[in-house]
Amino acid sequence: MCGIVGAVGERNVVEILLEGLKRLEYRGYDSSGVALLQQDGTLNRIRSTGKVQELVDIIANDEALGTTGIAHTRWATHGGVTVANAHPHFSSDRVAVVHNGIIENYQTLREQLSAKGYVFSSDTDTETIAHTVHEALDAGKDLLEAVQTSVKTFHGAYGTVVIDKEDVGRMVVARSGSPLVIGLGLGENFVASDQMALLPVTRRFIFLEEGDVADITRRTIAIYDKDGNAVEREIIESNVEHDAGDKGAYRHYMLKEIHEQPVVVRNTLKDRLTENGLAADVFGNGADDILSKIKHVQIVACGTSYHSGMTARYWLEQYANVSCNIEIASEFRYRKSVVHPNSLLITISQSGETADTLAALRLAKEIGYSASLAICNVPGSSLVRESDLAFMTRAGAEIGVASTKAFTTQLTAFLMLTLALGEKNGMAESDTQDIISALQSLPAKLEETLTITQGIEDLAEEFADKQHSLFLGRGDQYPIAMEGALKLKEISYIHAEAYASGELKHGPLALIDDEMPVIVVAPNNELLEKLKSNVEEVRARGGIMYVFADKDAAFKGDDTMRVINVPHCEAPIAPIIYTLPLQLLSYYVALIKGTDVDQPRNLAKSVTVE
């Protein structure tokens, strides 16, 4: 989703801004722009509706200069994808603004400001920020006061950076509902919506909190909370790799991230899983005490993270004897739900900034959950900071919009949580041992599974001209079928639906014909015979099947059924193992179709608006 970069320095900051925008491209965007303020007060703007490279090319021919600057990648919400709607937005060539989020009362503000003579040149909600601040400046306030009074009139979510042509060398930034991080340099300072943007220039960051407004010059940073009190915020040294945004020899980030899974799963387990079981407090300080009182778990998440929560429900109930509900965050946050005594609220999110998931966490705090746990991949993210307990998945930066390694590390975390909760709720010793030994074998099994690539490439050829597809699984493989379908939709734009295969007869069987490929995930587990019956139901109706199966599952391939053998693995980790061939299948189908694998149309990596 939208990205922000801002800088104040002594040198020309244009390179810093453009490099920052490139490093934010992965979040998804449809247009971009830069505003540059020179020492003599000249304010320039360059915007484009193409890739950031287009902006770079325009600027290369234009000799853009500025010691203060703001830049933005836009993911359209209000107003189409046009140059006029791209950020930065100006008010009368004096105030320049970039903004992530949505100003919900922008219509009212727009009418009021227009009536006062402020002229709008875009259809965006963001432009109201520029004019509102300008109005406050016209009333004699300085830039900090102008932003502080302006934000009081905004309803909705914003992360915004404002500069004033008459106040060179200063930017004022405000955060409410949309993250902002200040980067500290030597004799220069920066701001961005994501630390990734600033890693080439600094590793020292201040993560702003909700309601914060910060006044930034090249030598000073002053932060005020939502009540206007001056506050100190901790400076954090980032350990995110500088070159995390480099795809190396891989053709796409997604492929690199698929192949990183053995390593990042190993990292996620490291020092947490010992030979005898879990180390103490792996879910955060005091976690063991908190978890010992938990009798019920409510999981809330979106997208791929939601699928990991769905899988966890099978594990927590089957092995750990803990009752578990799971719900999509955008539903949970807007309905009344009943909170069981001793309930733990678990949020799952790669980014830790997904607006609906954050809102669900905030709601849960008001309605009586005993504690909250975030399973998340981004240290310092809002979800991590606002939860009682946090477990970091150590997947490293995930750049491909379609989530892969974040998902399998989330599942790894949930198997460890199953051990932690199971220990307190009478989990069978044999199950404990099975999960420990399965987790120990997991990184090597993932490596082995990635070697079946060739078979999947061939299969993708048969698939690429199809319009629709059906994914089937049973038990803890049902969410994996859902995740497989989501991957295919996201990056190849083929319509894909997932069903628990026992549900076939209740409707979807009507769809089966030879134009509807059916993908089946079939580990050798207690539901195998049931699954085989479902497969026969499809075969009897002329369906073409692609079965990912354990070789001991004894599926025989023929004209209507392609069987792809997946390495044998222990039952608890089968959902993680079977995820990989489905990720590869979508990847190769997308390659053949020629779609933008890492930045699929209409999607964003971090969904910071609802």
How many residues comprise the chain? 610
| Residue 382: CB minimum distance to ligand F1P, A | 11
From CA 309, how far away is CA 300, in angstroms rounded?
Answer: 7
Confirm or reject binding of residue 393 to ligand F1P (CB under 6 A).
no
| Shortest CB 561 distance to ligand F1P, Å | 30
Q: Which residues contact 455 (CB under 8 A, 6 or more apart)?
A: 564
Q: Which amino acid is at 50?
A: G
Q: Is 586 in the site for ligand F1P (CB under 6 A)?
A: no
Q: Which is nearer to ligand F1P, 6 or 159 (CB)?
A: 159
Please give the Cα distance from 565 to 459 (Å, whole number): 13
**Lookup: tokens for 534:** 């479902």
Question: Per CB under 6 A, which region of 303-311, 477-485, 495-503, 549-557 contacts ligand F1P?
Answer: 303-311
**DSSP bridge pairs for 430:** none
The DSSP result for 211-260, as a single string, is T-EEEEESS-EEEE-TTS-EE----EE--S-GGGG--TT-SSHHHHHHHT
Residue 177 Cα distances to 86, 133, 294, 520, angstroms: 21, 19, 30, 40
Q: Does 484 bind ligand F1P (CB under 6 A)?
A: no
Cβ proximity to ligand F1P: between 308 and 343 the closer is: 308
Collect all residues with Cβ–Cβ distance below 8 Å to 171 and sequence separation of at least 6. 6, 8, 68, 70, 161, 162, 163, 191, 216
- Convert 101-123 into a string of H (helix), E (strand) and C (coil): CCECCHHHHHHHHHHCCCCCCCC
Residue among 106 and 332 whose Cβ is closer to ligand F1P = 332
Binding mask 326-355 for ligand F1P (x = CB under 6 A): -----------------------xxx--x-
> Does position 357 bind ligand F1P by CB under 6 A?
yes
Nearer to ligand F1P, 9 or 352 (CB): 352
**What minimum distance in Å lies between the beta carbon of 492 and ligand F1P?**
14
- Nearer to ligand F1P among residue 148 and residue 393 (C-beta): 393
Among 101, 179, 245, 303, indicate the residue that binds ligand F1P (CB under 6 A): 303
Q: Which of residues 590-609 bind ligand F1P (CB under 6 A)?
A: 605-607
- Calculate Rg over the CA atoms of the chain: 25
Q: How far is the CB of 586 from ligand F1P (least distance, A)?
A: 12
Residue 302 within binding range of ligand F1P, rule CB under 6 A: yes
CB-hemisphere CA count at 13 Å for 403?
27
Instruction: Judge contact between 172 and 214, C-beta under 8 A.
Output: yes
> Of 130, 401, 485, 512, which lies in the binding site for ligand F1P, with binding defined by CB under 6 A?
401
Active site residues: 2, 605
Check binding of 583 to ligand F1P (CB under 6 A).
no
* Stretch near ligand F1P under the rule CB under 6 A, chosen from 302-310, 428-436, 449-457, 581-589: 302-310
CA distances from 350 to 167, 392, 406, 410, 476 (A): 38, 10, 6, 8, 21
| Number of residues near ligand F1P (by CB under 6 A) | 15
Nearest distance, CB of residue 566 and ligand F1P, angstroms = 23
Query: What residues make contact with ligand F1P under the rule CB under 6 A?
Result: 302-305, 349-351, 354, 357, 401-403, 605-607
